Amino acid sequence: MRRLAVVAAALLGLAAGGAGAQSLVGAREWLPAGSLSLDALSQRPAERLEDGRNFYVAFGRLAFRSPDILGGTARKAGLSCQACHASGFATHAFFIPGLSDRPGRIDVSNAFWHLRGEDGIDNPLEIPSLRGVKTKDRFGHDARTASLRDFTRRVIVMEFAGDEPDALLLDALVAYQEKLQPAIETPQPVTLRQDLADILDHLDTLRVPLGEENPALASRLVTMIRGQLGFIHERFADENMRGSRATLEEWSRQLVGIAELAENGQWPQARQHLAALRGAIAAPPPAFAADLPRSLYDGPRLAAWLNTPVR
């Protein structure tokens, strides 16, 4: 079944990529039973970024939510930076049996994530909040690293088996993390409205490579944004929710179309298609409202889904 589900996800081109920041299906497939917490999946703190957003911050925000930048089990399970550091705070409910001794703590130097990172010690660490990280001069529990950029690279490559990040990705992740000003943690429910607002935000970010006429960067953003759409798609889990599911799949295909136009150098068309897609997502069809109460955005439904064993 594991293989079937992964193939289905790959065919859709959805879940296998990135989501609201957390894959439901990927996590259920690849993490031990009992790993998913209802709290961590149904609430996240309000984000509150320092003023002054530019492309780097926006791209970093998207990358922070994209499992694709990691490798190994984290990527397969759809975990991104956001899964452990929700909105830049610590995810207090994060728990993986065998790797956590209590919620909010996790062993990140473990073969489960990366064979090369296994240190032979059972050492769960407290997940720290990244709020105010801009003003720190040492990072990690043992203060071993003096640069946020080096620490971020280490997290990606050594802890979570990701590919070597390029300079743009590191600049962006650092720029985003530096906008995480200290703030009071105010939990908010995970909603379709917020998740779609985030997609609109990411589409605005995509305007930059389309303006610069940079096909490689456009394609990279498209992959990440489709991952986020995939996370929303997972919440409409029921096959009967055809309207909502088909709409999300169509949006995802339109994004592929935009990347293809970019690849072919058809820049005005790519920009027009992006504007049209933005308009469509800003006014989602009524099927969503109809399906929402039965979707996994609904707390009790999500709780029931989490208690259903993987087939």
Choice from 3, 102, 141, 311 touching ligand HEC (CB under 6 A): 141
* Short-list 223, 220, 207, 227, CA closest to 272: 207
Number of residues that bind ligand HEC (CB under 6 A): 23
Choice from 106, 217, 225, 262 touching ligand HEC (CB under 6 A): 106
CB closer to ligand HEC out of 73 and 295: 73
172 binds ligand HEC (CB under 6 A): no
- For residue 93, the minimal CB distance to ligand HEC (Å) is 12
* DSSP secondary structure string for all residues of 261-279: HHHTT-HHHHHHHHHHHHH
* DSSP secondary structure string for all residues of 157-168: IIIT-PPPPPHH
Q: From CA 269, how far away is CA 256, in angstroms rounded?
A: 13
Return the range that interacts with ligand HEC (CB under 6 A); candidates 14-22, 73-81, 227-235, 285-293.
73-81
**φ and ψ of 209, to 5 deg:** -65, -30
Choice from 32, 140, 211, 265 touching ligand HEC (CB under 6 A): 140
- In 155-236, DSSP assigns E strands to 187-189
Placement of tokens 């899964």 in the chain? 83
Return the range that interacts with ligand HEC (CB under 6 A); candidates 19-27, 127-135, 230-238, 300-308.
127-135
CB closer to ligand HEC out of 128 and 284: 128
192 binds ligand HEC (CB under 6 A): no
130 binds ligand HEC (CB under 6 A): yes
Contacts within 8 Å (CB) and 24+ apart, 248-256:
248/14, 249/12, 249/14, 251/277, 251/280, 251/281, 252/12, 252/13, 252/14, 252/226, 255/222, 255/225, 255/226, 255/229, 256/13, 256/222, 256/226
84 binds ligand HEC (CB under 6 A): yes
Choice from 19, 25, 81, 192 touching ligand HEC (CB under 6 A): 81
174 binds ligand HEC (CB under 6 A): no
